[in-house]
Structure 1
Amino acid sequence: MSAPSLSLPAPAKLNLFLHVTGRRPDGYHTLQTLFQFLDHGDTLDFSRRDDNRIHLLDDLPGVPPESNLIVRAARLLQEASGTNYGADIRLHKRLPMGGGIGGGSSDAATALLGLDRLWQTGLGVDELAELGLSLGADVPVFVRGRAAWAEGVGEQLSPVELDEPWYLVVVPPCQVSTAEIFSDQRLTRDTPPITLAAFREHGGRNDCLPVVTARYPAIRNTLILLNKYCEAKMTGTGSCLFGAFPNECEADKVRARLPATLQTFVAKGCNRSPLHLALDRAA
């Protein structure tokens, strides 16, 4: 008899704006941002083991298996739940590393939710989100699975309903170190807090953009190019850039005008995470 198995998406996210409002005594930055999911991302396949072993079948270049957020999430869930199960995990990687669209954080969240289901640990979303926060500030929003207004270090989440446009996402040929951007002395750290209503009326900006474009010419040049066709924005600390369109056709038209050497994809904005929709279908 084959072992129980499960295949789940690990969707991308966009930061529709990102304000850095301060810096705490412990060095972490306080933020305001708005998260929305995309119907595009990685896929994780899980197969239950009875020997407590976590076996990641696909290595990421430059990332030792025990440092991989998927493995760390699985170990954390084992410890928190006391389960004796393990898992074989296969990662189908589509999201770029260092792209600001949540690849590693989304993979970790999918591991927590997927293995919670596969192992029948029954921890629930609140406890899984708390576990996820210890892995990264972006993990809880993926665990909770709702487009959200975020404050604090990004963990104080309030679900929101947003328009769900189509997005063209462009991946410049570089990876951005989040730690480097947040330690750069040029980063603005005193943007006054705003409300969701103020954002809806006036919009927002990405405080990290000036630092990123100064450090990474490839991102600066790609931003200039994309701005010729739409209002181009950067997600998180980069490197990915995006523009919103009313439909898939309009996004594809602009995509076709960009150099073939640029990595791009078109995806639908989602207020409910594709991960949670998949879990509902698998219930």
Structure 2
Amino acid sequence: MLLPAPAKLNLILRILGRRDDGYHELQTLFQLLDFGDQLEFESRDDNVISVDAGGLDIPLQDNLIYRAAQLLQRESGCASGAHIVLHKRLPQGGGIGGGSSDAATTLLGLNHLWRCGLPLGALAALGRQLGADVPVFVRGRTAWAEGIGEKLQPVNTPQRHYLVLVPGCSVSTAAVFGDPRLTRDSTAITLAHLRGGLLDSEWLEQHSGNDCQALVERLYPDIRAAREWLQQFARAQLTGTGACVFAAFDSAQAAGEILARLPQRWSGFVAAGVNESPTHRELAKLAT
């Protein structure tokens, strides 16, 4: 069984304050993309979980794919095992959800393969134990998020294509959120202008931005350089805590024309924004 693990962008990221438990209250708009990693699943007769991480230098016990599989196996009481192969396309430390999406696809895929029968709500609760961004990938919808990212409201965004640049450096999310210079006092905004679940384009343009961007660009000059290069062609911003930056275009062709001009020291890709996860679409095909 082969399933996608899609990337995400944070079209909006506002940090409202720090909680007593060290997490941050935030507001963000998760935009799912039609591009990402792929995971291959094969059931095993024993209860062993093995992972081919595609050459990633991560200890097995720290690998989110392995941890997600172990967690589902334990919580569901499943006696089966699995061999999982990661086909990695998304950069580590890029702010586009690679590890979180891989974990979510593992929960969804093994829930299907092992016939665990857990509903999405239960899988999302398991995902939250692995990371704040995992539940949005489990639920599989572009969404407005509050709290630490776990309070999700599905929304539809206007159809756009995104050029995502990968500056070639890895950003530590923990280091960014632990830095005293990070903006933590943004005013909360109200999700408004929903017409049949579709976000109003003018509202989206007005509130787009990322409270992590100023600090991250200060710490990583190459990220600032990549964003400033992309800014020549369209409004560009950081996603998550970085390192990737992105801009929206009306068509894949328009985004591709800019990608073709990208300086060699950076890489990038073009992807369409989607309101339903490609993982969920593939699982629906398998269920029929």
TM-score by length of 1: 0.96
Whether 2:16 is the aligned partner of 1:21: answer yes
SS state at 1:266 partner = strand
**1:126 maps to which residue?**
121
Amino acid at match of 2:211: D
Whether 2:122 is the aligned partner of 1:136: answer no
What do the CA deviations read for 1:120-153 (whole angstroms, capped 9, x no partner)? 0001100000000000000000000011000000
Amino acid at match of 1:49: R
**1:210 maps to which residue?**
214
Task: Check whether the contact 2:15–2:185 (CA below 8 A) recurs between aligned residues.
Answer: yes
Whether 2:276 is the aligned partner of 1:272: answer yes
SS state at 1:257 partner = coil
Amino acid at match of 1:222: A
Amino acid at match of 1:261: R
Match of 1:176 among 162, 171, 174: 171
**1:35 maps to which residue?**
30
Match of 1:91 among 86, 91, 102: 86
**1:8 maps to which residue?**
3
What do the CA deviations read for 1:240-274 (whole angstroms, capped 9, x no partner)? 00000000110011111211331110011000011
**2:45 maps to which residue?**
50
Match of 2:190 among 190, 195, 198: 195
Whether 2:227 is the aligned partner of 1:223: answer yes
SS state at 1:111 partner = helix
User: How many pairs were matched up?
Assistant: 278
**1:3 maps to which residue?**
none
* Range with bigger deviation, 224-233 or 194-203: 194-203
Task: Check whether the contact 2:13–2:240 (CA below 8 A) recurs between aligned residues.
Answer: yes
**1:259 maps to which residue?**
263
**2:156 maps to which residue?**
161
Displacement of 1:208 in angstroms is 0.2
Structure 1 residue runs of 4 or more that deviate by more than 6 Å after TM superposition: none
Whether 2:65 is the aligned partner of 1:61: answer no
Task: Check whether the contact 2:171–2:241 (CA below 8 A) recurs between aligned residues.
Answer: yes
Return the alpha-carbon distance in structure 1 between the equivalents of residues 263 and 53 of structure 2: 31
Specify every segment of 5 or more residues in structure 2 that has no aligned partner in the other structure, as ranges.
194-202
Whether 2:74 is the aligned partner of 1:70: answer no
Task: Check whether the contact 1:95–1:103 (CA below 8 A) recurs between aligned residues.
Answer: yes
What do the CA deviations read for 1:11-31 (whole angstroms, capped 9, x no partner)? 000000100011111110010
Return the alpha-carbon distance in structure 1 between the equivalents of residues 174 and 105 of structure 2: 24
Displacement of 1:61 in angstroms is 3.3
Displacement of 1:58 in angstroms is 2.8
Task: Check whether the contact 1:59–1:65 (CA below 8 A) recurs between aligned residues.
Answer: no
**2:198 maps to which residue?**
none
Displacement of 1:201 in angstroms is 6.5
Return the alpha-carbon distance in structure 2 between the equivalents of residues 112 and 201 of structure 1: 34
Return the alpha-carbon distance in structure 1 between the equivalents of residues 54 and 64 of structure 2: 12
Amino acid at match of 2:240: G
Whether 2:180 is the aligned partner of 1:185: answer yes
**1:247 maps to which residue?**
251
Specify every segment of 5 or more residues in structure 1 that has no aligned partner in the other structure, as ranges.
1-5
TM-score by length of 2: 0.94
SS state at 1:134 partner = helix
**1:145 maps to which residue?**
140
Return the alpha-carbon distance in structure 2 between the equivalents of residues 200 and 243 of structure 1: 13
| Identity level (%) | 56
